[in-house]
Structure 1
Amino acid sequence: MIVTLIVVCEVGFWVLLCAGLGVRYLLRMRRTGMAILLCEPLMELVLLVATAVDLKNGADPSWTHGLAALYIGYTVGHGHRTIRWLDGRAAHRLAGAAPPVEPPAHGMARARHEGAVWLGTLVAAGVATALLQIAVWYVGDPARTVPLADWTATAWKAAGVHGVIVLSYVIWPKKAPGERGREAVRAER
């Protein structure tokens, strides 16, 4: 049941997003479009309540409850960025707005951008951890909640891998195409 609800929430996210942006830019009803977009967090609330009810009704905590916590955490950590990114593109394509500013592609500016994205991943892992810990306390039986603890570790492993990738941008910043040629000329001299 929980996995089905996660899939419904994901499909619902994209349906609400397309509907909200369509109403906002194609029908030129900005406030109505914004109201539709603001309904999206309600779906995560439904998922959270359904997960809690499932546990309350005596379901054994499983990977599905952990996945629900990670899904909600991801939405909190990265949902606003996804919506803002798509809103900028919809405004450009459908309403004639200026093209959205692309993230920097090179150097430390790129590393700072990737660091900001990583902060979203840290927020996602923190929210998922909090939800999982609340579920552990809610169930109250440490022997039954091992799958939830496993998902906590998974959330932080993902944040750690993402952090290493961001660190690589800091240590080895991506060079602009023109910089590579200048370095080769300097090396020859």
Structure 2
Amino acid sequence: MVVTLIIVCEVGFWVLLAAGLALRYPARRPRLGAAVLLCEPLLELVLLAATAVDLRRGAEGNWTHGLAAVYVGFTVAYGHYAVRWADGHFAHRFAGGPPPVRPPKYGMARAVHEWKMCARSVLGALVAMALLQGAVWYVGDAGRSESLVDWQRKMLFVIGISLVIAAGYTVWPKRPPGGAAGDGAGGRPAEPERTGR
């Protein structure tokens, strides 16, 4: 049941996002579009409530409950980023906005971008770990919550990998083709790809 609800929440996130932005730009109904977008956090609340009810009924804290906590954690960390990314593309396509800005590719600008993404991943992992710990306390039985603790260890691994990746781009900054120093295409508007036609 929990896995099905996670899938429903993920699909619902993108459906609400598309509907909200469609109302905001093509339909010229910005207030209604904003209201639809504000409904997205309700999906996570429903998932948390359903998970809590399942645990309260005596279900063992298994990998599905852990996955629910991880899903909510990373939605908290990356949800606004995804909305902003989609909003930029919709504004460019339907409202004459500027072309979306691509992430920088080279040099320290790329390293800074990677540290920002690292911060989001760390935030998502910490939120997930806090929710998992809450679930462990809620279950109140070490034998029924071993899988939840295992998910916490996985989140520590995610934090470690994220830090290593960001540090790697700092210590060994990526250089543009030809080995020239500089930030390359960082911060430039996205250009249409050439198809050769």
Q: TM-score range by the shorter chain?
A: over 0.9
Name the SS of the counterpart of 2:173 in structure 1: coil
- Code of the residue aligned with 1:74 in structure 2: it is F
What is the CA-CA distance between 1:181 and the residue it aligns to?
A: 5.5
TM-score (normalised: structure 2): 0.89
Which structure 1 residue ranges, 4+ long, deviate > 2 Å from structure 2?
Answer: none
Q: In structure 1, what is the equivalent of residue 50 of structure 2? A: 50
Note the aligned Cα RMSD (angstroms): 1.2
Q: How do 1:98-109 and structure 2 match up within 5 A?
A: 98-109=98-109
Q: In structure 2, what is the equivalent of residue 27 of structure 1? A: 27
**1:62 matched to 2:62:** yes
Identity of aligned residues (%): 57
What is the CA-CA distance between 1:135 and the residue it aligns to?
A: 0.5
What is the CA-CA distance between 1:42 and the residue it aligns to?
A: 0.4
Higher normalized helix content (fraction of residues) = 1
- Go from structure 1 to structure 2 and tell me whether the alpha carbon gap of 1:181 and 1:79 turns closer, same or farther (over 3 Å shift): closer
What is the distance in 1 between the residues matched to 2:105 and 2:31? 34
Name the SS of the counterpart of 1:59 in structure 2: coil
What is the distance in 1 between the residues matched to 2:158 and 2:94? 36
Q: In structure 1, what is the equivalent of residue 12 of structure 2? A: 12
What is the distance in 1 between the residues matched to 2:162 and 2:146? 25
Q: In structure 1, what is the equivalent of residue 72 of structure 2? A: 72
Q: How do 1:1-189 and structure 2 match up within 5 A?
A: 1-177=1-177, 180=179
What is the distance in 2 between the residues matched to 1:24 and 1:100? 17
TM-score (normalised: structure 1): 0.93
How many residue pairs end up in the alignment? 181
